Amino acid sequence: MKLITETIEDIDLIVEGNSKGGKDYKIKGVFMQADIKNRNGRVYPVGTLATEVKRYTNEFINKKRAFGELGHPDGPTVNLERVSHMITSLTPEGKNFIGEAKIMDTPYGKIVKNLIDEGAQLGVSSRGMGSIQQSNGRGVVGKDFYLATAADIVADPSAPDAFVEGIMEGKEWVWDNGVLKSKTVEEYKQEIEKAKMHKLSEVKAQVFANFISKL
């Protein structure tokens, strides 16, 4: 069995006022798709996905333990200290599975909330284990597919700009969460300031990638 991840970037970011005078953050959209060749060249048969989503819903979502992380973890296990959100629903709609998740008030959840506030667009990436059989130029995911999480939160190209803006403006959310030390933030800032104009976008992307790798 292999670790299998699939990313979908077109999701809705929802911010609503709550009764306590604060804000609730949610993400909603297509988390998984069946019977269509995705950009990784893989196809999930609808029966396989429906069966596994039902198990995942019963064992995790309904018991309020369907968590996801920020970034691209390199294994199938969900690390509780890195959790940023809780998946609250995952329902079939044709051959799509529509998911919704609540951003939590954890250190990594706070990073997600502030990236949203800064205007970053985010996507989701499902993570699971399974066998893959090649057929007609496609990798067909086997019936042994096991869903570890329906959605980790991943960044599209706008996220590095939002993160770098937070660094340059000294915003507390960048470091005041036990993830980054002020020394590391200062190093990032110096790296950005030294970058030549034609390499600025590349340096921003590298700094953000380095940040995500430390999560």
Note the pLDDT of residue 74.
76
Note the pLDDT of residue 215.
52
Note the pLDDT of residue 157.
44
Q: Around 45, how many Cα atoms within 13 Å sit in the side-chain half-sphere?
A: 14
Note the pLDDT of residue 27.
94
**Domain boundaries along the sequence of the chain:** 2-155, 159-213
The strand pair at 67-69 and 83-93 is best described as antiparallel
Note the pLDDT of residue 182.
57
With CA atoms as reference, report the closest residue to 70 among 26, 107, 35: 107
Q: What is the pLDDT of residues 21-76, one digit of tens each?
A: 889 999 999 999 999 998 888 999 999 999 999 999 999 999 999 999 988 777 88
Note the pLDDT of residue 167.
52
Residue with the two structure tokens 């030294």? 194
Main-chain dihedrals φ then ψ at residue 93, nearest 5 degrees: -145, 95
Which residues are tagged catalytic?
Answer: 72, 125
Main-chain dihedrals φ then ψ at residue 12, nearest 5 degrees: -95, 135
Burial class (CB in 10 A: 0-12, 13-18, 19+), 81: exposed
Q: What is the pLDDT of residues 108-161, one digit of tens each?
A: 999 899 888 888 878 898 999 999 999 988 999 999 999 999 999 987 544 455
* Residues 6+ away with beta carbon under 8 Å from 199: none
Helices 200-213 and 182-194: crossing angle in degrees, nearest 10, is 160
The SS3 assignment for 55 reads: helix
pLDDT above 60 for 199: yes
Confidence label for 185 from pLDDT (cuts 50, 70 and 90): low
Q: What is the pLDDT of residues 158-184, one digit of tens each?
A: 445 555 555 555 555 454 444 455 556
- Distance in angstroms (rounded) separating the CA atoms of residues 2 and 140: 13
